[in-house]
Every structure is written in C-alpha cells, then in structure tokens.
Structure 1
C-alpha cells in the first residue's frame, strides 16, 4: 500500500491554449483539484513553490484554503525554499494553516531549486553570513524553524503586557502540536538526505538527483533512500520516517491522452547540469495501463518509498487532471498492489 498524491508546479500562461491564464486561475484551480483528488480517494495535494516566476509562490494562503475546503487529504509543499524564509514568521503561518486543516499539513522544505533571478533571496532581505553559502543559510533557517515548531518558550514576557501571559517564557502562536513530525526535506544528494535524517525530517526525493555514481536514476534514488533510512535508525529516532518520490506518470486510456503524452514516454533517464553539477532526471512514464504496471514494477525508488507524488500538467485544467489522477488510481495502482 502506498499513499498517492499529486504535485502541481502551478504554472500559468496567458496563451490561448492554456487553461490557467492568470495567477488567480492557478490558485482557484489548485483548490478545486485538491477537492476532486480527495473525492477520488487520493491521499495528498502538494504544490511547488517558486519565486519570481509565473508559478505558485507564497504557499500558506493556498494551503489554508485547501484545508478549509477538504477534510481528509494531506496538504503539502514540494518544496519551500528556505533561503527566502523568515523561520519565525513561517512558524506562525504554518501553525495557522495546519490548525485550519486539522493537522493535515505535510511541509516539504529545502535549499530550493535553480532560480529565475540572480540570488533572489537577497531581495527578500537575506544574505549568508561571512564564509557561509546560501545552502548553509537555508539549512540554518530550517534548523531554527524546526526548533520553533517544538513549541518551547524562548521569549521573555513584558512586565506590563497588553494581555495576560501564561507563566514562563513565551512561544510563538498559534502552535499546532504534531507539525514538527510532518516536515520533509527535499534532498538531491545522499549527504543531504543523511543530514535530513539526523534532523528528524521525512525525506522528499523528486525527479532529479545529482549524479553520484553514474547508475540509472531510480537506482541512485533508491540507494539514497536506503542510506537515509539507515541514518535515521542510527540517529535513534523512535518514530518511523516517511519517504516520498515524485514521478511523471500518465496512463494512456483515450485519444486525448495519446495526443498529449503518447510520444513522451521514454526508456532512459535525462542528464543535464544544475549549479555546475551533473544531474540525473527521471524518465517520463506514459503508456497503456498494463504496460505502465510492468514498467513501474522495475522502479526501485518507488518500491522504497511509502508515498508517490504524481506530477500533473496543471495548465490543462482541473477536469483533465482529475482524469489523469483517476486513471492511475483505478487502472494502475491496484495492479501494483498500491490500492
């Protein structure tokens, strides 16, 4: 059994062929797709976060709105770039959104992906300390955020406050108990996955990893997950960690599917360079359901993960993306023992 959700990049494009021509379109359709996914029996609605782009950016208003419109589905991000975040303000936003959702947030955070602008986090008022890289700054912000989510008091109360205070040092409010255990780190390298395990965070592994061994993408990703699980055990955490992988998977069940994705399925991984490092990109799975089942059985990383996030072509609209999810949930997942 696996949890199966969707991951939306939240693109919009004013072109005539796009079903999401504005930011408002994307936001409202994201809520509608989450509602539809819950009705189908999907387990998660996850959203990417990108700044300075025609994509979803500030996640918490959207997460809160989805939380208010749904009752069961997990609601998450993949991922929030911690270089841009004030961990104190973020802890308040996250606590409020999680309370609205009834404790269903699953927040993916990370160092972030390649940017639209040069050092965009500087425009948000953040700058690495002397001798510190932007990745180290992101991890520092994450560590502060995790500590705040513990809910321990740290601020000395004013002797003459506007409102009465509880005894002792004060914490940030609103506080949502249990959210600390529902934070995920998006790791593209094995050392970062080990660090995430040491910090007690769940692991998100996307459709990209930095090429460390030259092996196929899914093999490298599976080894990263196994190393993460070993590091988790070594750290002595008492709960069982969660691991998600993202995949582009399309079951071709009609002529429209074939028109959109019939030529996109490929048997090999892609390779490129990100931040001057060689990166491996996962293949796109696009085939009839029976063939998809056979192909997905060979994916070692999916086998290692407890959660699968299906990337959706959000610019094709809610109705078509609901069909994409339904085809996987009903025509593919049962054949793999996921349902």
Structure 2
C-alpha cells in the first residue's frame, strides 16, 4: 500500500463533455480537443462521464472511439457507464472494438442500479420487461464474462460463407483486467472479490460504516476504509494475481495561472456546493467531499494529508460542471505543470 510522501504514479482527469442542444458538435469537438491536449501535456489518462437525457456525453464509448484516432498513448476511461441502460452483450462488443482501435488503452468503468429517473422513461427503454429487469451486480458479472471471452453460444463453425464464433467478437485480450467498479463499503469488498479495479469519486455512501460517533461524516476516513476493504478482499480472493488498481476522483481546481475572474468563479462554484458536504444526503446517505480550490502547493498539502489519497497512487481529478473550454484548459495545464509535480508525478511524453 502506498505510504504518505510517495510520488503519484498516474494522473488523469474526468470530464462531463457538455454541449449546446442546438449545436452538439461543438461540445463534442471541445471534449476531443481537451483529450488531445491532455496527451500533449503528459497526462496518463482521461475519463468521460456518462449522461442520459441531458446535454452531456451520452455515448462515451463512441466519443472515445474518435479519441483513439487522435491520440497514441493516453489511457481512455469511462466513469461511469450505468449498466441499467445497457445490454452487456452489445456493450462488450463496443468496448472490445474501441480497445482494439486504441491498441489496449481502454479503461471502462461501470455502475449498476436502476437508471436515474427510470420511472419517467422505463416503458421506452424496456417496453416489455421494465418491471422485471435485473439491475443488480449480476449485470457486471455478465459483462466481465463477455470481455474475458467466455462462450455465449454452443455453436461455432461455418454456415455457407459465414463463420461464427462461440465468444464475443472482437476479443481484446487484457480488457477484462481493465474493468472498473466503484461504490461504498460492501461494493468495495465485492469489487475486490471479483478481481476488478476500484474507482472512487467525490461522493460515497456511509452505509456499513460504524464509527461509534467518532467520525461519522469524515469523508477521507470513510473512503480510506473502503479502499482498505477492497484491497483486503482482492488479496484474499486473488492471492496469485497482481493487485488491482485504485483511483481517486476528487474535484480539484488548481488556480496557479487562473485570472482573478476565474479565481472568483471557481471559489463561488465550490462555495455553492459546500452545504451538501456537511452531512450525509438523502435516503442512501451519500456523503460528498468538499471541492478543493487553490494554488497547487496548497492543494498538494491537502491531498498528502487526505487519508484516502494516502492509499492510492493514481487519480482522475474531476473537472467541474458547466465551465468553459478556456477554464478547463487552464485547469488541466496547471495540473500538469504545477499540481502533478508538487505530488511527485512526472509527465509521460
């Protein structure tokens, strides 16, 4: 397990890819340009969020397919694809195709559960099966089996001039080992047992944690316990396998080269979201991490003292919603030029 003070091995960021309803091309092109810039700046990875019935990227796999043709080195991830809207069979075909196009750089992150606002469109999504769909982790297991190349049919051979395979095609060796899952304490253990990589973010569930009132709302300590649970379960279930990867995804906004106007904007953004970090929210008791805003030396000190950050050696910092291309370029440039080096990270060129 990484110790405090060890250098950050991999640095990436996560973006939502917003667009104008009446000009969606511009937003998608901006996202692709930011991915290209990230590779030029030496980032290890860039991850796309997934939004449905909103003005954000609804098909990250398609966007990343385009990104494979504009980049050569950077890892391309999704954080996360909600499997409740997907057919794991078809998704496996798409993911393998993009991984082949990227020469093995795809890192698909997925989630389960009923889709957001499912009741409002379930009859359009699943006209005949909306009340019996299985939104459990079994959907992840199915996807994992398909990516591993497990047989999906007992037929293999030639019919006329057409050849048929027993497994999903194309098959991309190694892709199954780059599948990511997130979630709270029980999901952390399950993720380790399955041999998946563990993706954490700026929001988590406190379910399953019992601190006797000592630190019930301490995001860093709760997330640290989840990472420990993942690593313990992974090691127990896969003693002969290379340890799984763990990535942290806090909202981090360096201001080293920001204009005074940008600094005010960023501070107002974080302040407007601060209230939700004071206590767990909603029926699921979700706890949000405060957004981190400041110069890179300040941010590095905060992260180095963050209990969960101390347990990872790679990050995918989340970019804020609704900022401009100019803002995003300033933020990721400061990450590469200032924050990363302050954390011991070195660019990959």
TM-score by length of 1: 0.87
Q: Show the counterpart of 2:155.
A: 157
Within a 5 Å distance, the mapping from 1:239-318 to structure 2 comes to 239-253=242-256, 254=258, 255-264=260-269, 269-274=277-282, 276-313=283-320, 315-318=322-325
Q: Show the counterpart of 1:37.
A: 38
- Give the aligned length: 324
State the Cα distance separating 1:259 from its structure 2 match. Answer: 2.4
Structure 1 SS opposite 2:19: coil
Residues in 1 aligned to 2:49 and 2:249: alpha-carbon distance in whole angstroms: 12
Q: Deviations 1:137-164 (Å, cap 9, x if unpaired)? A: 2412211111111113342337761435
Compute the RMSD of aligned alpha carbons: 2.4
Which 4+ stretches in 1 moved above 6 angstroms?
none
Q: 1:252 touches 1:286 (CA, 8 Å); kept in 2? A: yes
Distance 1:185 1:119, change over 3 A: farther
Structure 1 SS opposite 2:308: helix
Q: 1:314 touches 1:321 (CA, 8 Å); kept in 2? A: no
Q: Deviations 1:182-238 (Å, cap 9, x if unpaired)? A: 000021x10011111111110111111112441411110011001100000010251
TM-score by length of 2: 0.85
Any stretches of 5+ residues in structure 2 without a counterpart?
1-7, 210-215
Alignment partner for residue 190 of structure 1, among 185, 188, 200? 185
1:72 aligns with 2:63: no
Q: 1:98 touches 1:179 (CA, 8 Å); kept in 2? A: yes
1:173 aligns with 2:169: yes
Any stretches of 5+ residues in structure 1 without a counterpart?
15-20
1:148 aligns with 2:146: yes
Residues in 2 aligned to 1:89 and 1:256: alpha-carbon distance in whole angstroms: 46
Q: 2:251 touches 2:320 (CA, 8 Å); kept in 1? A: no
Q: 2:19 touches 2:28 (CA, 8 Å); kept in 1? A: no
Alignment partner for residue 338 of structure 2, among 318, 331, 334? 331
Q: Deviations 1:281-311 (Å, cap 9, x if unpaired)? A: 0111111222222222211112212221122
Residues in 1 aligned to 2:148 and 2:233: alpha-carbon distance in whole angstroms: 22
